[in-house]
Amino acid sequence: MSEKPTGYYDLVERFPASGCAVCRLVLRDGERSLKSLMHEYVMDFDTQADFRRSRGLCNHHAWWLSGARNALGVAKLYSAALDEIINTLDSVTDDGQRTLFSRLLNGDGNRSALADALRQKKPCPVCALQSANEARYLKTLCKYIKDERMNTAYRASDGLCLTHFRGALNAAPSAATHTELVTIQRDIWHRLYAELNEFMRKSDVYVNENFGEEGDSWLRTIASLGGLSGVFGVDRQRDDDGD
């Protein structure tokens, strides 16, 4: 097979770690992006323009910045976003306010034009990068699902989280890939389900047995269905909005 992409090695190296490998990679990429933002792009014109349009970062990534030990960098980036917000407010004249107010009183729609003007014009740039990388990892997994090293690593892993498994199914280019994904993931979830049942059995007050590997199965189930802590993405938000 021709030379493999970096994502291939990223996946096979992350599968042995606990939790979903794609979640782990997305978390890594998000943190790298935030560090690079702070170290290299604070004064970059395009970055500041993006910050204006996205109104800063999403809640999760914005609070990551508070621990980045670069208060001046955060101030410079956020001053651009705040300036944009203030400019938008200042552009509304008193007459405009009256027009908007009467529009609402007359029942001409239930949305404020000003609220719309203040909304994000672009998604959080870190979430956007994570979503793009997420799609790339899932595509790579599908492409190499029959590769022995990838296949073995996936089978022996905690599997994909539910969101990333659904993403992989949607990215599957053929029925054979789809079937292979289902076969592997189904075995993984059957094993987890058995461990969860064993955990519940041993949790019974009348059963005097020590916990084994199933002891943290309840935590692994949270990660398996909800994804690893801190994984957010544009697609995930859109998905949630659509349901």
Please count the residues of this chain forming the interface with Zn ion, following the rule CB under 5 A: 11
Cβ 33 to Zn ion shortest distance, Å: 9
Residue 29 CB contacts under 8 Å (≥ 6 apart), including other chains: 129, 130, 133
DSSP structural state of residue 20: -
> Interface with Zn ion includes 127 (CB under 5 A)?
yes
Give the range of 91-99, 102-110, 121-129, 203-211 binding Zn ion by CB under 5 A: 121-129
Contact of 20 with 159, CB cutoff 8 Å: yes
> Interface with Zn ion includes 150 (CB under 5 A)?
no
> Interface with Zn ion includes 125 (CB under 5 A)?
no
Structure tokens at 108: 């001409």
Give the range of 68-76, 96-104, 143-151, 161-169 binding Zn ion by CB under 5 A: 161-169
Contact of 140 with 7, CB cutoff 8 Å: yes
Residue 161 CB contacts under 8 Å (≥ 6 apart), including other chains: 19, 20, 22, 23, 223, 224, 225, 226, 227, 228, 231
Three-state DSSP at 147 gives: coil
Q: Which of residues 43-102 bind Zn ion (CB under 5 A)?
A: 58, 61
Cβ 68 to Zn ion shortest distance, Å: 14
Give the range of 16-24, 80-88, 114-122, 193-201 binding Zn ion by CB under 5 A: 16-24
**Which residues would be at the binding site for Zn ion (CB under 5 A)?**
20, 22-23, 58, 61, 124, 126-127, 161, 164, 227
